[in-house]
A and B are shown apart, each in its own frame.
Chain A
Amino acid sequence: MPPVDITGTAAILIICFVFRNMPVGMRAGLAAFAQIDRSMEEASSTMGAGGATTLRKVVLPLVKPAVFTALVYSFVTAMTAVSAVIFLVSARHNMATAYIMGRVEAGEYALAITYSTVLMVVMILCIVAIQLAVGARRLGRRREFQGQAPAAE
């Protein structure tokens, strides 16, 4: 008995799509947040609004378009989700994922799991290497204070 028994349920499909589409939604949301002038929130607070009220009345209405775009994108990709690769691979140019699926269909689970593990390790190493090569990117909000040191808030 596995610790969390969700294999074969609708929940696992939903969770899968949530995680798959999260980067797109986050990116769209962050971009929209970064575009809101910080003084907009400050104006709201000088007029007596707390953080929650400002979020509800000012910030959320302003990021609404981004939220809508992310939802549409996620919905469309989820509805049409079958990766194009499975139609495109051949014996000469196979891909790890398609190969793993083939092994699963053939009942060779041990091989499939090994391949999956190796795939994950290789990906993590690649991501670390890219991160080191490109450097961390700062996605920041515009700061009001013109000084050198970032405001400690």
Chain B
Amino acid sequence: MTDDIAIQFTDVTKRYGSAVAVDGISLSITKGEMVTFLGPSGCGKTTSLRLIAGLELPTSGVVRIAGRDVSQRSASERNVGMVFQSYALFPHMNVLENVSYGPIIRGESKASARERAAAILEQIGLAGLGARLPSELSGGQQQRVAVARAIVQQPDVLLFDEPLSNVDAKLRRRVRGEIRDLQRRFGLTAIYVTHDQEEALAVSDRIVVMQSGRIAQIGTPRDLYERPASAFVADFIGDANLIAGQVTGGRFRAGDLDLPLGGPEGAAQISLRPERIALTPGSAAPQGIVQSCTYLGSRWEYLVATGFAELLVSRPMVETPIAPGTAVTLTIADATPIRVS
């Protein structure tokens, strides 16, 4: 079983003085998996990544990479590749020297290291740019050099620290696709840190959502979106209408909202996705009034005032827009809503 576990955290804590950055995290990551650490800033995701890299050492707990306890080993004693947010290419070395730096440091001969570096550069589409300095490359090319440099020595794990934050919005979709391709092609175990939930949904096998140094939920992108375990996760992954109410006799009630819901009786909170609510104008018993209708190109976004909450509703562009001030009834598409507390 330990054979396919690439990384294992056992009760890992990292403190800076009295501030706790990572608070007793346990988790395992399987070989060949791409896992994203997602969360708002200050949630401990970057610290967790740096704990794997060996750039921070845990205050307590055990970090294992490929079965070996590396908790108190420095970065240079671990076999990890890391792509930094700023890329951190060495500006005084050309591309080939940058990529062959690691293998040469680890004792490979200059000639064979360069050969290997050149092969990697060719595989990621940078053939012929070996003699350029990093400052002579575009942002996208620099990023690929950073990736080449990280994977050239076949690391046990490849780490990405918000790699797309310096890429312009248009390119992001393409670059994240390239990263995912590369990870699959080389069969790498990869860990990716981001605060952008859309990016996380797009690239990951599994997502670890973090909140104030702890893991809020781990799951596949679909799990997290469709079955969030807490209000925090529901709200952080996509948009969510969080509604507080009461459960009695297997039904959730809040104002005139009445939905089937199992689980324990009493106070409860549910999450309704904006795209799961349909609006019908002008009925006999209206439940809400449209406050605003915003054109967003691919969809309409409504704010609807109701007796129980102000709802965010998202409808496809093909539907006829409903003017603000119109009374509407709501149809919830979910058979049963998601209970988050």
Which residues of A are interface residues toward B (Cβ below 8 A)? 37, 39-40, 42-50, 53, 57-58, 61-62, 144-152
Q: Within the complex, which residue of B16, B55, B153 is in contact with A42, where a contact is CB–CB below 8 Å?
A: B55
Q: What 20 additional pairs, Cβ within 8 angstroms, besides A47-B101, A145-B47? A: A39-B85, A40-B90, A42-B88, A43-B89, A43-B90, A44-B90, A46-B53, A46-B76, A46-B78, A46-B80, A46-B150, A47-B76, A48-B153, A50-B76, A57-B105, A145-B16, A145-B21, A147-B21, A149-B18, A149-B19
Q: A45 to B17, Cβ gap below 8 A? A: no
B24-40 vs A, Cβ < 8 Å mask (1 yes, 0 no): 00000000000000000
Cα A145 to Cα B46 in complex, Å, equals: 8
Question: Measured between alpha carbons, how far is A53 from B80 in the docked complex, in Å?
Answer: 18
B71-106, CB under 8 A of A: which get 1 and which 0?
000111010111011101111100000000110011
Can you show 28 pairs from A to B with CB atoms below 8 A apart? A37-B86, A37-B88, A39-B84, A39-B85, A42-B82, A42-B84, A42-B88, A43-B82, A43-B88, A44-B101, A45-B74, A46-B78, A46-B150, A47-B101, A47-B105, A47-B106, A48-B76, A48-B105, A49-B76, A50-B76, A58-B90, A61-B92, A62-B92, A144-B55, A146-B41, A149-B16, A149-B19, A152-B16
Q: What is the CA–CA distance of A45 and B84 in the complex, to the nearest angstrom?
A: 13
Find out whether the CB atom of A147 lies under 8 angstroms from the CB atom of B19: yes
Complex: how many Å from CA A57 to CA B41? 33
Chain B residue total in the interface (Cβ 8 A)? 36
**How far apart sit A146 and B21, CA to CA, in the bound complex (Å)?**
10
In the complex, which residue of chain A has the Cβ closest to the Cβ of B102? A47
Complex contact B16–A150 (CB within 8 A)? yes
Chain A nearest CB, measured from B256 CB (Å):
44
Residues of A within 8 A of B106 (CB): 47-48
Question: In the complex, which of the residues A40, A42, A49, A148 contacts B19, with contact meaning CB atoms closer than 8 Å?
Answer: A148
* Chain B residues within 8 Å of A50, by CB: 76
B19 to chain A, nearest CB (A): 4
Contact partner of B84 (CB less than 8 A), chosen from A43, A58, A148, A149, is: A43
Q: Evaluate whether A46 and B55 lie within 8 angstroms (CB atoms) in the complex, with A40-B90, A61-B92, A148-B19 already known.
A: yes
Q: Using Cβ atoms and an 8 Å threshold, which residues of chain A touch B89?
A: 43
B206 CB–A CB distance under 8 Å: no
Bound together, the chains give a CA A61 to CA B94 distance in angstroms of 13
Q: Tell yes or no: B253 within 8 A of A by CB.
A: no
For A43, list chain B residues within 8 Å (CB): 82, 84, 88-90, 149
Residue of B nearest to A49 (CB): B105
In the bound assembly, the distance between CA atoms of A23 and B47 in angstroms comes to 37
